[in-house]
Every structure is written in structure tokens, then in C-alpha cells.
Amino acid sequence: MPKTKRLRTKIIKILMEYESLATSEIFNHLNNSCGPFGLRHGCVMGTLNNVLGKEPVFLKMVDSESENAPRIAGADDCLRANSLWSLNRSLLAEAPSLVDPTVNSFLRHRVK
């Protein structure tokens, strides 16, 4: 996933600071261009979901289908369920180079 390495490292930095966040909160941090974690051109929700779902360094703490899922108001003031994400700190401790933006993928560091 070399196309998403900058996005992936930004998400890791966000989750290192905030411990766990809902998908839409991560999305808002990435698309806030004047914030410390913002990307110049932002990202779309589909790309964010692919990175969060495919990389083993991100752990889904609460699924959006669960009753305990955080509910966040959307643009139409309707409450929407979001997944709650956290970092796999043991994987980061095992391979600290994963935070480096030059590393292409986490896929070689499979969780056993």
C-alpha cells in the first residue's frame, strides 16, 4: 500500500495522541488542513476505511454494528454509529520502524 503510507503514518500519530477515536473523528482530524494532523488535500472516507480495516496496526475496539458504538451527528443532524479504533501497541513496540513514512506496508508484520 505505498499510495497510503502518508495517510497511515498520520493516523498512527493521531491515535498515539488520542488513544482511541471514532472513524469520523479521525476523518475530521485528517481533513482539517490547518490542524497538526491535517493532510494538504484531505482524504475520502473510503480510503480511510480501507487503511483502518486492512492494516493490523489498527485495532477495532467497538464495531459500528454494536449497541455500544459511539454515535456522532452527521451533516444532516442524524446520529450515525461509528467504529472505535485504537493502536496495536505491541506491534509498534515490536517494529518501531512502522511509524516511518518510508516503510511501504505493515502487511509483512502479520499478527499471529
For the chain, 112 residues long, give each residue's pLDDT as a single digit of tens.
457 888 888 999 999 999 899 898 999 999 987 878 878 788 899 999 999 998 888 998 877 767 776 777 666 777 777 888 999 988 888 877 777 776 665 555 554 4
Residue 64 domain flag: yes
- Domain CATH for 66: 1.10.10.10
Do residues 10 and 30 touch, judged by C-beta distance below 8 A? yes
Query: From residue 19, how far is each of 45, 75, 104 by CA, in Å?
Result: 20, 25, 24
Classify residue 59: in a domain, yes or no. Answer: yes
Number of domains in the chain: 1
In a domain, 107, yes or no: no
Cell numbers of 88, please?
496495536
Full residue range of the structural domain in which residue 77 is found = 2-93
CA distances from 97 to 25, 44, 86, 94 (A): 26, 26, 18, 9
Q: Which three cell numbers stand for residue 81?
A: 454509529
